[in-house]
Structure 1
Amino acid sequence: MNTDRKEESMTVQWPYDDGSPDETPTSAGEEPTLETPAQEEDNVEAPTGQTRRRKKKNAVGSASREQRRKFKDIALKAIQLYEAAPLSRDYVAIELGIKSSRPEDLAIEALTTTREMSPLGDILAMYTHDKFDILMELVGKNREEHRTIWNALKALGAADDTPLPADERESARVLVDAITSIDSDTGTDIATALDLLD
């Protein structure tokens, strides 16, 4: 009878009651077992980590496909430019604002750089108009656009190496004279070159 009382007196009493699951009393010599927060975290995080790794793998795969598609586009554009006339490639280089007219350089520049201006496109759109209409078109453009068009005209041989006047209206008048000097054959060549960039 004394032994039974001793075992009952060794029952573990939990000193708090916060709504956590009841623990079964333990007898002498037994350790209460509790699941640690670290164990719970491991049980939760393991599958989550696997999911994240799978998502990362998919993202990398998508990027690789995008790169392969870009490389293919550049290769096809380089072939197209290689088959074009040398003069057309020269005009494409003028449009892109680069010195090299090698097909691969043109293809890379055309497909990897965002062009904010199209100097040859502007010239092609204006050269057949009368001087007043061209002047009104140029007055609406800023100094940077004037300079870009001027550089293209110099590359075409339609302007000399003198700098543009600082005054925008005066520079517009100088541009008008250079643009109206473009003949129809040059206009046709410009149009052919721009078609290569579509």
Structure 2
Amino acid sequence: MKNRLYYLRFIRTIIAEGEGGGSGEGQGDPAPEPDAGAEGKGDEQLGESGLKALKAEREANKAAKATIAEYEAKLKAIEDQGKTESEKETERVKTLERSNTENALKVLQYEVAAEKGIPLSLANRLRGEDKESMLKDADGLLPLIQHDTKQTGPKPDKSQGKGGNPKPASLTQAIAGHLK
């Protein structure tokens, strides 16, 4: 009974998200895709028919994404039919400039993160338009990161493992050390 109610909560959530009709505007971002490592963690609980349905859903999702990409490419081609060569080149240059600006911002984020000692995995969290504003943001972020990296568990016991007393050179020294 408990399992049935547990899964019913998710079914109601999915149905509630789908209600309301409309074109989908203003409904926020779609649910994030599960990564490849997360795909089999809870799947064994579904049973054979549930796994078949899940695989079918995933294949349908892949096919739908491929179809969307195909239609977007066709739409772009139709939009480009009416453009002159100079308009196409102007659009291409604007796209390249936008990409260049985004890449320069990413490089600046990584430079500031390396300079301040922030892990590079958190570099994209830095905000600002120039180096000075990113440095200020990094100064605000640094105490939060250092707070999280403090060791909260027990201190290591140095007598365990390779540390501690040196190994005795002979059997008599080992026996003498053991009898102490």
Which TM bucket (shorter chain)?
A: under 0.3
| Larger Rg belongs to | 1
Q: TM-score, normalised by structure 2?
A: 0.22
